[in-house]
Amino acid sequence: MSKSDKHDHNAAPMVDEISDFEVLEVAVRELCIEKGLFTQEDHNEWTEYMHTLGPLPAGRLVAKAWLDPEYKQLCIDDPVKASLEVGIDWINSMPSKFGTPSDYCNPRILVDTPTLKHVVVCTLCSCYPRPILGQSPEWYRTPNYRRRMVRWPRQVLSEFGLQLPEDVEIRVADSNQKTRYVVMPIRPDGTEGWTEDQLTEIVTRDCLIGVALPRADRKADDKRPIHKAVHPYGH
């Protein structure tokens, strides 16, 4: 009997094939455990935590701040406390209970204004506010984005479909130490009278990194092309 025979015909489709990559992932993990590099329990604990992560809490934080000026001030003054209100405990929810080099506990909310637009990059590796925004997208990790965003931000943003007028200051935040940045964009037109839930839906991951602006008619990020690095290592 094949794998799919056990499933009801209405169930979501699944991949009924064991790929070399799937096998490789398990084999690497098992060898690490066999060599004593970590335990199965440590691994399970991380996996469980990772399954809880995603961009929704950061989107909700922004939506709440749009509706409540006091909360917006809290986001600026004490982002750790503000995150608790959207269910994210930067310090205690991680398996390590104090942060890791990937997830130090020092979030900072960068508030856009009509004349100031923030965008986030990590030129050194790919530091990202993972506890509140989930896994980083592939393009964020590429050397192409990391090298070019600090140098030609307007060009890179226009590749993302975002053209900004001359009188708007673009401020690139390079996340090179222990602060993890989240961008709070301006609330778009056409959202008057919306609820927190409605607003949360349009604050997508790309808006929170700063490469897109929220729009009343968009609830998902556009698909991004992946560019190879122009000048690979060693050149």
Partner 1 sequence: MPKKNLNKLREKIPLLEDIGKDGRVWSDLCKQYGVENPDPPWRITLESTCEVLNEGACALPVLERRDEEDKLSEEIYKDVPYPERQLLALAHSMIKKGFFREEELGVQMEKVYKRLSAGT
Partner 2 sequence: MSKSHHVEKATGIGDPQCFKGEAGKPKFGVGDKVRIRNLPDIFYTRSQMYLREAEATVVKLVYESPPAEDEAWDNTDSPEWFYSVLFRQTDLWPDYPQKFAGDTLETELSERWLEPL
Tokens of 6: 């056990």
Question: d(Cα 67, Cα 157) in Å, to the nearest integer?
Answer: 28
Q: Which residues pair with 116 in a beta bridge?
A: 113, 169
Q: How far is the CB of 172 from partner 1 (least distance, A)?
A: 20
32: number of Cβ within 10 Å:
13
What CA–CA distance (Å, rounded) separates 187 from 200?
Answer: 11
User: Between residues 143 and 188, which has the closer beta carbon with respect to partner 1?
Assistant: 143
Relative to beta strand 116-121, strand 169-174 is parallel
Which one among 5, 8, 9, 51 touches partner 1, defined by CB under 8 A?
A: 51
Please give the size of the binding site for partner 2, defined by CB under 8 A.
Answer: 31
Q: Is 81 in the site for partner 2 (CB under 8 A)?
A: no
Binding partner of residue 92 among partner 1, partner 2, none, CB cut-off 5 to 8 Å per kind: partner 2
Residues marked as catalytic: 122, 125-127
Instruction: Give yes or no for residue 185 binding partner 2 (CB under 8 A).
Output: no
What contacts 93, CB < 8 A, 6 or more positions away?
A: 49, 52, 131
Residues between 88 and 107 with contacts to partner 2, criterion CB under 8 A: 90-92, 96-99, 104-106
Would you count residue 198 as binding partner 1 (CB under 8 A)?
no
Q: Which stretch binds partner 1 (CB under 8 A): 17-25, 148-156, 179-187, 198-206?
A: 17-25
30 or 89, CB closer to partner 1?
30
DSSP state of 181: E
> What does the CA dihedral 229, 185, 161, 224 come to, rounded to 10 degrees?
50
CB 107 within 8 A of CB 90: yes
Query: What Cα–Cα distance (Å) separates residue 14 from each residue in 25, 52, 80?
Result: 19, 22, 39
When the beta carbons of 118 and 205 are compared against partner 1, the nearer one is: 205
Q: Tell me: does residue 20 bind partner 1 (CB under 8 A).
A: yes
Question: Binding mask 119-148 vs partner 1 (x if CB under 8 A, - otherwise)?
Answer: -----xxx--------x--x--x-x-----
Could you list the residues that contact partner 1 (CB under 8 A)? 3, 12-32, 35, 37-38, 42-43, 46-47, 50-51, 96, 100-102, 124-126, 135, 138, 141, 143, 226, 228-229, 232-233
